[in-house]
Amino acid sequence: MKRLILMLQFLTKLPLPFEINATEEDFSKGVIYFPVVGLIIGLLMAGIFYGVSLISNSLIAAVLVVAFEVFITGGLHLDGLADTFDGLYSYRDKDRMLEIMKDSRVGTNGVLVLVISLTLKMALLYSISDPVKVIILMPVVSRCMVVLTAAISKYAREKGMGGFFIEKTSKGQLVVALLITAVLHIIKPELLFVTLVVLVLTLIYRYHVYSKIDGVTGDVLGAIVELSEVFYLMIYVLVLGV
């Protein structure tokens, strides 16, 4: 329970009345709770979508759900997405890419990917006739993809927050996270196919990142969250329809 609360405090801005004396080991072992944190976020998002839909329309609901996810995560993953795109697509050498990714300033590539990803999320959610179950599972899958990436990758930096998870996540922890994610698909079993496609796309993107910086960073893990959610919605709309 301690590590679940720690992961909730790390990955969300939920006002939890707990003070946790955490070690680096608590972070690395708490990674199995990533999908559970995703479930809690997804349930809150689905509740907002359902409630707003009752008093307004699905467009407003889609916009507010995306805005809520940004708020509840503190923009943590969006920051990683922007930094990743600023660095990887600067077309510099590896060391310079890593320097750019560490820079707190947001460049053109970062701004563009933020606008595109948020707009896509809103448009795709709006295009789904009944997205409640999709909304619940989407953050579960995206956090599971982080566990996958952390478990099979090496750290591209010498130190940093990403090092709490990358190279510290075991294959056993990955199996637990995958099992939790698979079991939660009882909500809508046909979405397992979407999840498998997202998994493949995540592996392809990881390979792409490796080709540039020979590893992954905490920013890349954040980018994986955001990209896998866009992938999830796109695959659902394109393959399973609305």
Identify the pLDDT of residue 236.
95
| Cβ-proximal residues to 196 (8 Å cutoff; 6+ apart), any chain | none
Length of the chain: 242
46 pLDDT tier (thresholds 50, 70, 90): very high
- Tell me: pLDDT of 216 over 90: yes
Residue with token string 């922007």: 82
pLDDT the model gives residue 156: 84
To the nearest whole number, what is the mean pLDDT of the chain? 90
Task: Examine the pLDDT at 178 and tell me if it is beyond 70.
Answer: yes
The per-residue pLDDT for 242 is 63
The predicted structure's pLDDT at residue 29: 83
- Summarised one tens digit per residue, pLDDT across range 179-209 is 999 999 999 999 999 999 999 999 999 999 9
Encoded tokens for 79: 């920051």
Place of tokens 């579960």: 140
Query: What pLDDT, on a 0 to 100 scale, did the predictor assign at position 166?
Result: 87
Amino acid 3: pLDDT: 83
Which pLDDT value is given to residue 167? 82
pLDDT at 56 > cutoff 70:
yes
Residue 203 pairs with which residues in a beta bridge?
Answer: none
Please give the share of the chain, as a percent, with pLDDT higher than 90: 67
Per-residue confidence band for 161, with pLDDT thresholds at 50, 70 and 90: low
User: Percent of the chain beyond pLDDT 70?
Assistant: 97
pLDDT digits (tens, 9 = 90+) for 81-112: 999 999 999 888 888 988 898 888 888 899 99
Which of 130, 143, 142, 140 shows the shortest CA–CA distance to 62?
Answer: 130
How far from 118 is each of 87, 193, 229, 238, CA to CA, in Å? 20, 24, 10, 18
- Long-range pairs for 150-154: beta carbons < 8 A, 24 or more residues apart: 150/31, 150/216, 150/221, 152/206, 153/206, 153/210, 153/215, 153/216, 154/214, 154/215, 154/216
